[in-house]
């Protein structure tokens, strides 16, 4: 797509309308004709480009992965993992991003395209933050061979659990506990080559 071109403007308008709808009303309200109306885009264009609500949700997840904030480098594993945990909490508690992400997770349970896109979204985000772990290995903070993906996933898992399984909004105390738990487990070699 040409930056600033008509195609890019149409995609931006449709994804914004889709995101607003998902955040406010959930996946069940993601009707392509209504999204076209809200985005002030031709219905035919929306149907031709996306075809299904699942494909639209998938494209929105792709956009979110591409535009997410880069990882933080504080110089320590503990500091990096805390920054990651705080970013997750900030996203989950944001008035728009929290409900949007929850709706996209719900969409992934009933639509294969959305499920694949959600998996890619997490792969991109975990890969972005995996450098925290490889840097910590290089500094000698944690054992060589520690699985970076497992450490980063261990930071966000209890935060998502709090929101999705208990309905409790995670806070900074949860972020601190999740980061500390993941860092201590990494130092103990939980995700090292000898753990299997």
Classify burial at 105, counting beta carbons within 10 Å of its beta carbon; exposed 0-12, middle 13-18, buried 19 or more. middle
| Chain segment 8-57, per-residue pLDDT in tens | 899 999 999 999 999 999 999 999 999 999 999 999 999 999 999 999 99
Q: Which residues of the chain have pLDDT under 50?
A: 1-3
- The pLDDT value given to residue 2: 42
Length of the chain equals 196
pLDDT value of position 196: 55
What pLDDT, on the 0 to 100 scale, is given for residue 8?
A: 87
- Distance CA(36)–CA(27), nearest Å, equals 16
pTM: 0.87
Neighbours of 110 (CB within 10 A): 12
């Amino acid at each position: 797509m040409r930056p600033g071109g008509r195609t890019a403007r149409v995609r931006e308008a449709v994804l914004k309308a889709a995101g607003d709808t998902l955040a406010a009303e959930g996946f069940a309200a993601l009707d392509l004709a209504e999204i076209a109306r809200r985005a002030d885009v031709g219905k035919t264009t929306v149907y031709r480009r996306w075809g299904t609500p699942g494909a639209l949700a998938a494209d929105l997840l792709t956009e979110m992965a591409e535009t997410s904030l880069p990882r933080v480098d504080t110089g320590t594993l503990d500091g990096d993992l805390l920054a990651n945990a705080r970013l997750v909490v900030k996203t989950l508690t944001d008035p728009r991003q929290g409900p949007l992400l929850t709706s996209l997770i719900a969409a992934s349970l009933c639509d294969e395209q959305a499920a694949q896109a959600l998996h890619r979204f997490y792969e991109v985000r975990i890969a972005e933050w995996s450098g925290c772990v490889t840097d910590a290995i290089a500094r000698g903070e944690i054992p060589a061979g520690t699985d970076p993906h497992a450490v980063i996933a261990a930071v966000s898992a209890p935060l998502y659990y709090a929101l999705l399984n208990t309905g409790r909004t995670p806070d900074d105390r949860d972020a601190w506990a999740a980061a500390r738990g993941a860092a201590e487990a990494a130092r103990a070699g939980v995700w090292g080559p000898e753990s299997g």
